[in-house]
Amino acid sequence: MAAQHADRLQQRLWYSGSWLSVLLLPLSALYALVSGVRRWAYRRGLLRSARVGVPVVVVGNISVGGTGKTPITIWLAERLRQRGYRPGVVSRGYGGVVGKLPVQVNANSDPELVGDEPLVIARRSRVPVVVHPDRVAAAEELVAIGVDVILADDGLQHYRLQRDYELAVVDAARGFGNGWLLPAGPLRESTARLKSINRILIQQGSELEIKLAATELAGTPSSSFHLASHSLVRLDTRETRSIDDFRGETVHAVAAIGNPERFFLALEERGLIVIRHSFADHAQLTARDLAYDDRHQIVMTEKDAVKCREFATARHWFVPVDVKMHDDSWLTELMQVLGAVTPKNKL
């Protein structure tokens, strides 16, 4: 509960223009100094980075919270498979408690051990997924089992793992909040970092929001996408129904993700009447958390569903989402980079 309140306070500070954020600016200055020196040290070779023998594509962002990285990672893994590659995914495993050795994720893995996002990626993409705080060790584990291209989920700031192509995912509707670095704002790195990214992927917003985001990020190639949802899946039986079947119904909407409001609004846009229940990102949900004293259906994200299967009932449904890339011609450029497999350290 304390984590949930802290998460909501952060969101208000970062995205609502609260003057209280100003009090945290000295800590943000310290954060900027430490992170800047760290990246400089990697670029100069003072801190050692490593190649793992196969191309590495990073999917990340410069801000804290949900921007669509996980769906993009799944989408990209599928496109690589279609083109004859054997992709694998490395992840930190946020929300999990992985020990000293890398752990390979499978469909039956415990989300409390490996984290919710890696489990969703493993189930949806059907490619090898390895989690560990040391992404180099995780990548080496994947190479050992025959992977020929690695996707580093949320790996933009993990500079010890050298990379060949960087994708940054940006939420057009949310933007960069107040534009300040942690903890006064939501940024892990300044927006200047985006100038060195290969491509920025802008998640849906209004047409105006996408244009504004593209203008703000001018100088770096960008493409836009949106997340499409058409069905609800019952957790206990895997029964699938059209989301339109629930139009006009009141439902409990549950989200323990970085941007729960986007999920709630998406349900409302499809005609559902939503009772909101937001939790801290990666929170481990329990049956008690979802014990609502009525007969309304309970609808959650796919990321949350992997944590609720053990106690799911006929009331529990999740919403799978798919990436709809508005223009995927940039994949040709990516394939050329992967084909070259240059040893260049792109930091």
In tens digits, what is the pLDDT along the chain, a chain of 347 residues? 555 555 666 777 898 777 889 999 999 999 999 999 999 999 999 999 999 999 999 999 999 988 899 999 999 999 999 999 999 999 998 877 777 899 999 999 999 999 999 999 999 999 999 999 999 999 999 999 999 999 999 999 999 999 999 999 999 888 898 999 999 999 999 999 999 999 999 997 666 566 666 666 778 899 999 999 999 999 999 999 999 999 999 999 999 998 899 999 999 999 999 999 999 998 999 999 999 999 999 999 999 999 999 999 999 999 999 999 999 999 999 999 999 974 444 44
Please indicate, yes or no, if residue 218 is contained in any of the structural domains: yes
Positive or negative CA dihedral for 14, 68, 134, 114? positive
Q: Which of 178, 173, 176 is nearest to 20 (CA)?
A: 178
The whole-angstrom separation of Cα 6 and Cα 11 is: 9
Please indicate, yes or no, if residue 245 is contained in any of the structural domains: yes
User: What CATH number did the domain enclosing 69 receive?
Assistant: 3.40.50
Number of domains, the chain: 2
The whole-angstrom separation of Cα 89 and Cα 56 is: 10
Under DSSP, is residue 245 helix (H, G, I), strand (E, B) or coil?
helix
Q: Could you tell me if 106 and 244 lie in one domain? A: no
The whole-angstrom separation of Cα 196 and Cα 127 is: 29
Q: Could you tell me if 209 and 62 lie in one domain? A: yes
Under DSSP, is residue 284 helix (H, G, I), strand (E, B) or coil?
coil
- In the chain, DSSP assigns E strands to 56-60, 87-91, 103-105, 129-131, 149-153, 165-171, 199-203, 222-228, 231-234, 240-242, 250-255, 273-278, 297-301, 316-319, 322-325
What is the layout of strands, in order, in the sheet containing 165-171?
A: 103-105, 129-131, 87-91, 149-153, 56-60, 165-171, 199-203, 222-228, 322-325
The interaxial angle of helices 69-82 and 116-125, nearest 10 deg, is 30
Please indicate, yes or no, if residue 345 is contained in any of the structural domains: no
Q: Could you tell me if 87 and 213 lie in one domain? A: yes
Please indicate, yes or no, if residue 346 is contained in any of the structural domains: no
Alpha carbon of 140 to those of 135, 137, 345: distances in Å? 8, 5, 17
The amino acid at 45: G
59 is in which domain, residue-wise? 8-226+325-340
The whole-angstrom separation of Cα 270 and Cα 319 is: 12
Q: Write the burial class of residue 77 (CB in 10 Å: 0-12 exposed, 13-18 middle, 19+ buried).
A: buried
The whole-angstrom separation of Cα 103 and Cα 198 is: 30
Q: Could you tell me if 271 and 218 lie in one domain? A: no
